[in-house]
Structure 1
Amino acid sequence: MTAIANKRILLGITGGIAAYKCAELTRRLTERGAQVRVVMTQSAQEFITPLTLQAVSGFPVSHNLLDPAAEAGMGHIELAKWADLVLIAPATANFIAKLTAGIADDLLSTLCLATPAPIAIAPAMNQVMYQAPATQANLATLKQRQVTLWGPASGAQACGDVGPGRMVNPDELVTAVVDYFIDQAQPQLLAGKNIMITAGPTREAIDPVRYISNHSSGKMGYALAQAARSLGANVTVVSGPVALAAPAKCNLVKVISALDMHDAVMADINQQDIFIACAAVADYRPATIAEQKIKKTNNDEMIVRMIKNPDIVAKVAALENAPFTVGFAAETQDVEHYARDKMQRKNLAMIAANDVSQSGQGFNAEDNALTVFWPQGMTQIALASKQDVAAQLLQLIATQFNANTSP
């Protein structure tokens, strides 16, 4: 079961180009067990058809305020009472203004006034419109009314401008929805605790244009960061180069090489209660880095002498007042043997092992499965999305941490 299994999410789509992302957003939410009903404004239907949203949600799409098919012709009341959460994505500047003013001139704006459910919005508009004083004032008012804002992101826009105003991507919105329901449903097991998580790969330079790296995407580490934050922790993520948005409400420290990651970790490790070494840190690096690009020659071989990188997780675990230290073991064979050996050799409190030779899990995949070991036991986390696996792993870590630190 996921945090949003059987949750009723009303997705309101307004008339912005980002509306095309809502098919993927709906699919991702339903994959995780949510029931999604879609309400579209008239202008939204210019960007994506109701039939598309009906196909991915499994429910008819609503768009008429006065719908004879609705109970007593009052679809806005029916839907308003049905929802556990109303999510407006994309939320245009126009709709944000209507929501702020309490205007109710179509189905979506009317049900927003009629619903007892919490409302979240994902703003999406041109960067000048977003930064306009009127829009900023409207957003500030909505925040005061406990409307949750997710985004916007910054970057290139459909109009050619660059700046804040992009709707956050569907995966980030799904994570935000999951975190919202987790925050509502579970005790803050790590409230006030400081957790540092390493994530992603490292890049070990050969020359100014070439490097040695691995297939880590950083998705597992970033999912762990969100899971830790949802349990009330203060989270620092030390991340190698990844193509992921910064985890919400976390302190993100970007690094490139294993030495960079080592220095960033050790600079702040004494402030941490828990350290989770999820990054795929290169074991070795080139002994020398060429100052200029190495030119191809007639030689059939190029020999690069490698030297060992510092073992970050072992150094952390060996500190006099070490935080509760959790390692990861990405293996291709004899997973339990190598994981237990690594846990004992490095004096780790826990280790999470995964078999990256299995198709559909581990590096660059959306899903993962883990076998988690600690000195007194072990458990398995079955194949699931990395967000779900991360949530289960953080529950285990919190349980073991609290058991080890209780008087």
Structure 2
Amino acid sequence: MFAGRRVLVAVTGGIAAYKVCEVVSTLAQAGASVRVLLTEAAERFVSALTFATLARARAYTDADFWSAEHGAPLHIALGQWAEVILIAPVTAHTLARLALGLADDLLTNTVLASSAPILLAPAMNTQMWEQEPVAAHAQTLITRPRYHLSGPGRGRLACDAVGAGRLSEPAVLLRHLGSLLWSGGKQDLAGKTVLVTGGGTREFLDPVRFIGNPSSGRMGIELAAACAHRGGTVHLVLGPTHLEAPPEVDCHPVVGAAQMAQATFALFERAHLTFMAAAVADVRPSQIHIDKIPKNQLGNRLTLEPVEDILLELSRRKQPWQTLVGFAAQTGEDWLVPAAAKLKAKHLDWLVANRVDLQEQGFGGDNNQAMLLSSRGDMHAIPLMSKLEMAHRLLDRMETPA
């Protein structure tokens, strides 16, 4: 989703500047056109040459401030060129200058000469981050439509303090940049509560065996992140997965279908928009054995019973102000027939159907394609794209009520 897009990365003077190298490298490898701008303090941590090499393009410093680019002053040329701006790490000093609208170096002049959305990624000592003026400056900035905040995360810092102040991980920053490039930073879900389920469930037969499926939870994770980036208050009920939940959402980890049902039912009554992207088991063992069953006895011990239909129960509880979206993983040439039947039988507003028997899409992959069906009978084809892009495409389409 970065191919051909124009990303300006501004680096300020913090030890976490080294992490931004991975962001720049990944953007360039993904086909983005990347320009890097370093403050004087940033050059004490990572050189302009390093960033220029990773970006495959020139990196700019304050020494370039009085130069021109394509016939225009550099700060104006860069500001008008950028589709999105990442400032990372953001120091306390930089937060203050941005909040006050100062224009005393190349970075602050470029920000004022641009209308592009800006992703701020603060990183500093915990005591510094928690100081009242720093918090006030951060709050001032995020109330302005252009500014969006990522982090800071919690953990052990370079100064050995433990608490808030860590720079968001590169993958988190890249996902948020992708959302801003798609949506332009609009906050159409502000004031809305969103519920997303994701991942598969594990229905245990004994301590070492379970009935499950290959779902990685990536579609639910990307949906949750996209909704949070667009201003929603997001709850993610997530089955077992090797993937990390987005730090912007409230994650509720579960294992089995019964746990997923309990968590989902508790959160659903406050949700304006619900995406049921989890691959919930249809059946489970009728008995969970305390000890491992001998291999030669499995055939006699494996008896199954149906699992509660969470989606159908949600449709019974749904209020007129709520929107309920189901997912259907299908196979075969007639894959849309059962999907359409599921939409009708479970009284859904929308259903996202996709084939999981095709290469490079479905379970576990980074990409997917689907057909979006509405209760009005509309069908919208979504071509192969990243699951984050698909999440935004679904949200854009659902702006028109079903």
Pick the TM interval, shorter chain.
Answer: 0.7 to 0.9
CA-CA distance at 1:392 after TM superposition: 1.2
Which residue in 1 is equivalent to 2:164? Answer: 164
C-alpha distance 228-66 of structure 1, shift in aligned 2 (>3 A): closer
Secondary structure in 1 matching 2:399: helix
Output one character per residue of 1:259-318: Cα deviation in whole Å (capped at 9) or x when no partner.
111122223434444432101112223333345xx3586x55544443321111122224
CA-CA distance at 1:195 after TM superposition: 3.9
CA-CA distance at 1:324 after TM superposition: 3.9
C-alpha distance 12-191 of structure 1, shift in aligned 2 (>3 A): closer
Q: How does 1:8-407 map to 2 (within 5 A)?
A: 8-26=6-24, 29=27, 35-41=33-39, 44=42, 50-51=48-49, 53-66=51-64, 70-71=68-69, 75-93=74-92, 95-96=94-95, 107-108=106-107, 111-112=110-111, 119-131=118-130, 133=131, 136-145=132-141, 146=144, 148-157=148-157, 162-180=162-180, 184=184, 188=188, 194-207=193-206, 211-229=210-228, 235-242=234-241, 243-246=243-246, 248=248, 250-291=249-290, 294=291, 299-300=295-296, 302=298, 303-319=301-317, 321=319, 323-334=322-333, 335-374=335-374, 376-399=377-400, 402-403=401-402
Secondary structure in 1 matching 2:236: strand
Equivalences, count: 391
CA-CA distance at 1:40 after TM superposition: 2.4
Secondary structure in 2 matching 1:393: helix
Separation in structure 2 between the aligned mates of residue 53 and residue 137 of structure 1, nearest angstrom: 32
Secondary structure in 2 matching 1:398: coil
CA-CA distance at 1:396 after TM superposition: 2.7
Separation in structure 1 between the aligned mates of residue 160 and residue 304 of structure 2, nearest angstrom: 45
Separation in structure 2 between the aligned mates of residue 210 and residue 46 of structure 1, nearest angstrom: 54
Secondary structure in 1 matching 2:63: coil
| TM-score where L is the length of structure 1 | 0.77
Please identify, of 304-313 and 7-16, the stretch whose mean Cα deviation from structure 2 is larger. 7-16
CA-CA distance at 1:43 after TM superposition: 5.7
Residues 83, 181 of structure 2: 8 Å contact kept: no
Separation in structure 1 between the aligned mates of residue 310 and residue 148 of structure 2, nearest angstrom: 38
Residues 121, 148 of structure 1: 8 Å contact kept: yes
C-alpha distance 23-364 of structure 1, shift in aligned 2 (>3 A): farther
Separation in structure 1 between the aligned mates of residue 398 and residue 76 of structure 2, nearest angstrom: 43
Separation in structure 2 between the aligned mates of residue 152 and residue 232 of structure 1, nearest angstrom: 17
Which letter does structure 2 place at the counterpart of 1:309?
Answer: V
Residues 219, 364 of structure 1: 8 Å contact kept: yes
CA-CA distance at 1:26 after TM superposition: 3.1
Output one character per residue of 1:60-92: Cα deviation in whole Å (capped at 9) or x when no partner.
111242468644895445434544543211224
Secondary structure in 2 matching 1:65: helix
Percent of aligned pairs sharing the same letter: 36
Residues 66, 74 of structure 1: 8 Å contact kept: no
Alignment gaps of 5+ in structure 2? none
Output one character per residue of 1:199-231: Cα deviation in whole Å (capped at 9) or x when no partner.
222233445676544332322113223444566
Q: CA RMSD in A?
A: 3.9
CA-CA distance at 1:352 after TM superposition: 1.4
CA-CA distance at 1:386 after TM superposition: 0.9
CA-CA distance at 1:351 after TM superposition: 2.1
Please identify, of 196-205 and 153-162, the stretch whose mean Cα deviation from structure 2 is larger. 153-162
Separation in structure 1 between the aligned mates of residue 151 and residue 281 of structure 2, nearest angstrom: 34
Output one character per residue of 1:354-382: Cα deviation in whole Å (capped at 9) or x when no partner.
22233322222221111223452322211
